[in-house]
Amino acid sequence: MPNSPLILSGKEVSLAVKAELKGRIEALAGKGIKPGLTAVLVGEDPASQVYVRSKERQSAKLGFNSNVLRLDASTSQDELLKIVEGLNKDPEVHGILVQLPLPRHIDDQLIIETIDPEKDVDGFHPVSVGKLVLGLDGFVSCTPAGILEIMKHYNIETEGKHVVVVGRSNIVGKPMANLMIQKRDLANATVTLVHTRTPDMGVHTRQADILIAAAGVPEFIGDDMVKDGAVVIDVGINRVDDATREKGYRLTGDVNYEAVLGKVSAITPVPGGVGPMTIAMLLSNTVKSAENSIK
């Protein structure tokens, strides 16, 4: 049984990704191009505001043309569609990000499908998802793409391994499973995807060489659900009440970190694991889009 597992620091990997992007951004600058990322935020959801501010700050720091359109919660679907269509036509905008969830009177899927797939840096458009499934080059949803970068950075072998993904959301679980089944490096895995309708989930998770937890349930994966020596990627970011903290809460993953630590060979912490990778990959996708614009 491994005693001290490798701690997979997404924070460290995200810095490496951003350092690599700097060179590409300079090359683009030499051609008179500045990567342009526009985020659209409708309403005042506090978590979305924090997330969008962080994207804005980090993209501006890298020298992007970074914009946030902050729209009133009462913005109509038609108004939002027109705004997205305008961004599609703007040559200075290489990436469009519409922060989800949108207010209930707006159809998320309709808005996603209106974004030009060439500017779909979130990788949510059906064209991007289709390319991912077919193994074609395209924009990959940022969180799964970030997990792949972590595995690459730490030389985690995936070929022939059994990867078990917990959760089937469109932004994490499904794209993650699809990435891992591809016939290429950093994939070639045997994949099982479990979800709320899976009876006795532990039967599957205990077989995982690589366990990727993306359910959004605080610390529900304990040592009884993990195989000795497994690699554990914890995507969950959950707020749990904690009176000992100044804010009254702490962030925790889907995995009971302390409980599995003595059993696993490698694990991502929360925070500082998968979290920092999501924005790094958004920036990476935007640089890729800017490069594509001159091909």
Residues that bind ligand NAD (CB under 6 A): 143, 166-169, 171-173, 194-196, 201, 214-217, 220, 235-238, 274-275, 278
Residue 137 CA: distances (Å) to CA of 25, 85, 88, 152, 225: 20, 24, 20, 18, 35
For 46, other C-beta atoms within 10 Å of its C-beta total 7
State whether the Cα torsion 88-90-95-101 is positive or negative.
negative
Specify the amino acid at residue 38: T
Nearer to ligand NAD, 83 or 237 (CB): 237
The least distance separating ligand NAD from the CB of residue 277, rounded to whole angstroms, comes to 7
The least distance separating ligand NAD from the CB of residue 288, rounded to whole angstroms, comes to 19
Nearer to ligand NAD, 68 or 166 (CB): 166
18, 58, 99, 234: which one is catalytic? 99
Nearer to ligand NAD, 59 or 75 (CB): 59
- Name the CA dihedral angle for 143, 145, 150, 155, rounded to a multiple of 10 degrees: 150
Nearer to ligand NAD, 40 or 274 (CB): 274
Nearer to ligand NAD, 87 or 214 (CB): 214
152 catalytic, yes or no? no
Q: Residue 18 and residue 243: Cα distance in Å, rounded? A: 36
The least distance separating ligand NAD from the CB of residue 13, rounded to whole angstroms, comes to 13
115-150 as b/e: b if 16+ CB within 10 A: bbbbbbbbbbbebbbebbeeeeebbbbbbbbbbbbb
The least distance separating ligand NAD from the CB of residue 273, rounded to whole angstroms, comes to 7
Nearer to ligand NAD, 93 or 97 (CB): 97
The least distance separating ligand NAD from the CB of residue 236, rounded to whole angstroms, comes to 4
Residue 92 CA: distances (Å) to CA of 33, 230, 242: 8, 45, 45
Long-range CB pairs of 127-134, under 8 A, 24+ apart, other chains included: 129/170, 129/175, 132/175, 132/178, 132/179, 133/178
99 catalytic, yes or no? yes
Nearest residue to 230 via CA among 253, 198, 205, 252: 205
18, 58, 120, 122: which one is catalytic? 122
The least distance separating ligand NAD from the CB of residue 147, rounded to whole angstroms, comes to 9
Nearest residue to 274 via CA among 1, 4, 13, 3: 13
Active site residues: 55, 99, 122
